[in-house]
Amino acid sequence: MNALGSVEKRYEKQDLVDFRAGDTLKVNVRIKEGEKERIQAFEGVCLRKHRSGTSSTFTVRKVSFGIGVERIFPLHSPNIESIEVLREGKVRQGRIYYLRGRSGKAARIKARRLFG
Amino acid sequence: MDGILGEKVGMTAVYGEDGSQIPVTVVRTTGNVVVSKRTEERDGYTAVVLGFGERSAKRAGKPVEGFFAKQGLLEEREDGKKIVKRHLREFRVPAARLAELDVGAALAVDSMFHAGERVDVVGTSKGTGFTGVMKRYNFKGGKASHGVHEYHRHGGSIGSNTSPARVFKNRKMPGQHGNARITIQNLQVISVLAD
């Protein structure tokens, strides 16, 4: 490994859950409101993972009150408390942007395997 | 005021406690050695000469090899290749600090700097050769269309006509860009990692 990579490694989370595009995720985000800190969950389908060392990100899409909402999270940010995989989706693309143009029945994703 | 020599490894980003992303430059400083000393009696000032990096003695030349041999710092690899330090720089230090340092002493970053400290960084910028004003001074250039003929990346007028009948000094024009000594002051040390 090169020297830059070994430095970056120190700042990356080592205990990340494995997930990919198409999976339904629950992202627990730390939110600071004044002095208090609370955890807010953002639930939706992962559209893409952007792999780039410490600055890696992933995009989660959900439909909230009829409006599509996408949030890009920094993967290694300390503000991401945890990530839960609710459902593993079977998709053929690494970036499932085609989901944006679909709604209802067409926006379904088949499960890769079912959770027991 | 202490200094150390280093080599840029690359840039990356780390997260602050509040989750903010901080851009950082990783600098390798492994192998800093006191090569020589400047003393009040002999040189009229006090400074320490640091060496960093590796270079084949054969390429550096006999005088350099001789100097390192005299200081007892000529490294010899197993294959018989002789190695000298690539970079040599003087750092002015007070006499008291100079007394603490011996020729041949290795300097470690973690004993000199700590996270949160502010430092000045001096280096040579990337050379980009003879460069136009758009790249060099961020001029806007000319129009891309509307009948413009071969005047897209020019800098425009460089002054008035009969009065003053000359171009003022310091006029920004094309020329050598980069490959210059750059000092950036007051940078924060984010963390100091031992080898």
Chain A touched by B190 (CB under 8 Å): no
Mean pLDDT in chain B?
Answer: 91
- At residue B90, the pLDDT reads 93
Residue range B161-180: mean pLDDT, rounded: 94
Residue range B55-83: mean pLDDT, rounded: 90
Our CA-based measurement puts residue A107 at a distance from the nearest CA of chain B, in whole angstroms, of: 33
- At residue B193, the pLDDT reads 83
Our CA-based measurement puts residue A13 at a distance from the nearest CA of chain B, in whole angstroms, of: 11
Residue range B92-117: mean pLDDT, rounded: 88
Instruction: Compute the distance between CA of residue B56 and CA of residue B29 in angstroms, rounded to an integer.
Output: 19
* Contact: A4, B17; criterion CB under 8 Å: no
Give the architecture-level CATH label for domain B126-179: Irregular (4.10)
- At residue B133, the pLDDT reads 96
B14, B20, B26, best to mutate vs chain A, most A CBs in 10 Å: B14
Our CA-based measurement puts residue B15 at a distance from the nearest CA of chain A, in whole angstroms, of: 6
Chain A touched by B20 (CB under 8 Å): no
* Contact: A76, B10; criterion CB under 8 Å: no
- At residue A115, the pLDDT reads 57
Q: How confident is the model at residue B195 (pLDDT cuts 50, 70, 90)?
A: low
Our CA-based measurement puts residue A25 at a distance from the nearest CA of chain B, in whole angstroms, of: 21
A39, A51, A54, best to mutate vs chain B, most B CBs in 10 Å: A54
- At residue B91, the pLDDT reads 92
- At residue B16, the pLDDT reads 86
> Is residue A116 pLDDT above 60, yes or no?
no
B9, B15, B191, best to mutate vs chain A, most A CBs in 10 Å: B15
Chain A touched by B28 (CB under 8 Å): yes
Give the model confidence (pLDDT) of B7-63 as tens digits: 999 898 999 888 888 999 999 888 899 999 999 999 999 999 999 999 999 999 999
* Contact: A3, B193; criterion CB under 8 Å: no
- At residue A35, the pLDDT reads 86
The candidate with the shortest Cα–Cα distance to B108, out of B7, B193, B11, is B193
Q: How confident is the model at residue A64 (pLDDT cuts 50, 70, 90)?
A: very high
- At residue A103, the pLDDT reads 87
Quickly list DSSP for A14-43: SSPPP--TT-EEEEEEEEEETTEEEEEEEE
CA–CA distances in Å: residue B46 to residues A90, B1, B4, B70, B95: 70, 12, 16, 20, 6
- At residue B1, the pLDDT reads 58
Give the model confidence (pLDDT) of A20-40 as tens digits: 999 999 999 999 888 888 999
Q: What is the pTM of this model?
A: 0.79
Residue range A44-57: mean pLDDT, rounded: 92
Higher pLDDT, A33 or A84: A84
Residue range B92-102: mean pLDDT, rounded: 88
Neighboring chain B residues of A29 at a CB cutoff of 8 Å: none
Residue range B83-105: mean pLDDT, rounded: 90
- Paired tokens of B142: 């000319």
